[in-house]
Chain A
Amino acid sequence: MKDELAISLRNDLWQRKLPELNGFSAMPGGHYRTDATAWAVMALSVAGATQDSLRSSRHHLAMSQMENGAVSLSPDHPDAIWPTSLAILSWKDSHEFINFLDMATGFLLKTTGQHFTRMPGIPTGHDPALKGWPWISDTYSWVEPTALAVIALRVSGYEKHERTQEAVIMLMDRQLSRGGWNYGNTTVFGKELNPMPETTGMALSALAGLVPESQVERSLNYLNNYIDHAKTPMSLGWGFLGLGSYGRRSGAAENKLPECLNRQGKYGLYDTAALSLVILALCADKGLVDFYKESHGIS
């Protein structure tokens, strides 16, 4: 059933391809987007599409790469660098794009958010000196772009690089004391903020195998409790990927992911990233890092 569903979703995704641009939009009828294209390529590849069939989309992404190695949202928004990690993952399955991948990892390794030494009296609880990655150039580092960059660097052979190692410390610093992550603030003016399942799944996916499980146990518990009543593709997708990274994924995924797809009647059509995430969650039982490492023989 899982394979049938993945194939069905793969067909749904193919139908969204923009013929003239060889890429994907966020929503059917929308404009080309690098992030949507990267997500779709990842999902199609995982769901068994031939490498040849993905070549033109990967090539289009490569043509979007800037001289510094970043892949931005669009040429109009060169500061929106967050799709770079997604582009790395989308090129990962093809040797033909190794040079583009190297340039993109090179960009990540030399890029950080804005960071500063913690001063007494600052209202936020986390350590602002720890380097991660921002969504947008010259802004602060946040959980999702950092988690995605760690995943991209790990599957590209940079697991032991000092930037990856510091980002792991940064992510651990942003973990909430009662478990889970949100977009990236722990406490503000002395009050702890609330966790979110999607960012918790991302952070857990990035950290799996790099920190002792006991140090993220409270977050695994939070996610495990949440996933039972999760309904939406992003929360379920990242939730199952995060739990799967620690071998904690229950059989519920087999039912909850198809149910989630049926909810499009209520929510409206899912965007390309959400649909792709469901495919990845269906196929990558052990999480994203293990999936990419195993398929590429990286230890």
Chain B
Amino acid sequence: MEFPKLTRRDFLIRTALGSLAAWHGMSWLGCSKPLPITETFIAKIRDYSSEIGSTILSGFKELKISKPEIQGKRILLKPNLVESHTGAVHVTTHPMVIRGAIEAFLRMGADRVIVGEGSGHCRDTLRVIEETGLVDVLSEERSSFIDLNQDDLYTVVNSSKSSRLKTLTLPITLRQTDWIVSMPKMKTHHWVGITLSMKNLFGVMPGIVYGWPKNVLHCAGIDGCIVDINVAVKPHLAIVDGIVGMQGDGPIMGTPKYAGLLVMGRNLPAVDGTCVRVMGYDPKNLSYLRDASRKIGPIIENRIIQRGETIKSVTTKFELEKNIPAHKKLLG
């Protein structure tokens, strides 16, 4: 967990919130120690032809991600490429957002930036990168793609124990990179309510061990597995593609929802909590985020310093489906 350096403004805000807010944050979770404070960055972006790389660089600055942190490092970008539909911009992370991230990391001095995904539904991952247009971006940026479903493996003990899994088997690429960046799509989801940067890491779990779909994780409990995977993988950053998201019956069959946003942050529960608020809902109604807030980072508003746009100024309600139980829970 990173503890950001506080500016005078931040200090005053925190002081004003006072001990009541701090007590509230602790008592809600039943924690014995104060929750950490972290930062997220929200930027408005008009469309996919905008200067996304520059916006991400601004986000780095706001989040105090410095050149020495990135210089010479190997970066793994993990977009959501669950399955492809030619021309559908709301299903997968847009290649222009991935391009923006590649450009930004290279400008910060990264040694190399690779893109990896273990598609959850498609066995033919190359088809997904072809049909989404990502393959052309990778070719132009001279970046490479790795199918995390087919990678060599390593296994770790499941220390988080939110699910019943005793171990987690991961692709070796995670160990061979210095920074892991979760790059999800801002979407509703029919099993867990909303899917963002934490749920996106299901895509690092190799299909050769977990199946297509990753049914081992479903059987062990999706919510618990989301937290376990994030504790094990320890991602460094999230960049959420909320330019065109998905509402309704996500993660595949929903409809496009324009939000015109990019949301970034080092702490994934905080980023996801912020996104859920932007989408018009309370993150405390998402089981995996409640659990994550005890183990990984905060989701309550007074523990997240908001950089860039305010949540209020960009909130746009994502529609839910009445017949989906996970959506009913989201409504509290």
| Chain A residues packing against B (C-beta within 8 Å) | 25-27, 30-31, 33, 35, 73, 76-77, 79-80, 82, 114, 123, 134-136, 138-140, 142, 144, 182-184, 188-191, 193-194, 196-199, 230-235, 266-268, 271, 274
Q: B152 interface residue, CB < 8 Å from A?
A: yes
| Chain B residues packing against A (C-beta within 8 Å) | 83, 85, 121-124, 126-127, 129-130, 135, 139, 144-145, 147, 150-153, 155, 169, 190, 207-213, 215-216, 218-219, 249, 252-253, 321, 323-324
Flag if A190 contacts B216 (CB, 8 Å).
Answer: no
Contact of A232 among B130, B211, B213 (CB under 8 A): B130
Taking CB atoms, residues of chain B closer than 8 Å to A140 are 215, 219
Taking CB atoms, residues of chain A closer than 8 Å to B207 are 135
Contact of B121 among A26, A182, A197 (CB under 8 A): A182
Contact of A134 among B123, B215, B321 (CB under 8 A): B215
Least distance between B136 CB and chain A CB atoms (Å): 9
The distance in angstroms between the C-alpha atoms of A233 and B323, with both chains bound, is 39
Taking CB atoms, residues of chain B closer than 8 Å to A183 are 121-123, 212-213
Least distance between B220 CB and chain A CB atoms (Å): 10
Flag if B124 contacts A189 (CB, 8 Å).
Answer: no
Residue among A79, A134, A139, A182 having the largest count of chain B Cβ atoms under 10 Å: A139
Flag if A134 contacts B211 (CB, 8 Å).
Answer: yes
Flag if B249 contacts A189 (CB, 8 Å).
Answer: yes
Q: Other than the known A33-B208, A114-B219, A182-B83, what 10 A-B pairs have Cβ atoms closer than 8 Å?
A: A76-B169, A77-B169, A80-B208, A136-B216, A139-B215, A183-B122, A193-B253, A230-B127, A232-B126, A235-B127
Flag if B211 contacts A139 (CB, 8 Å).
Answer: yes
Flag if B85 contacts A135 (CB, 8 Å).
Answer: no
Flag if A190 contacts B215 (CB, 8 Å).
Answer: no
Taking CB atoms, residues of chain A closer than 8 Å to B147 are 271
14 pairs, A vs B, C-beta closer than 8 Å: A26-B150, A33-B208, A77-B209, A134-B215, A135-B215, A139-B216, A142-B213, A144-B123, A183-B121, A184-B213, A194-B252, A232-B124, A232-B130, A267-B129
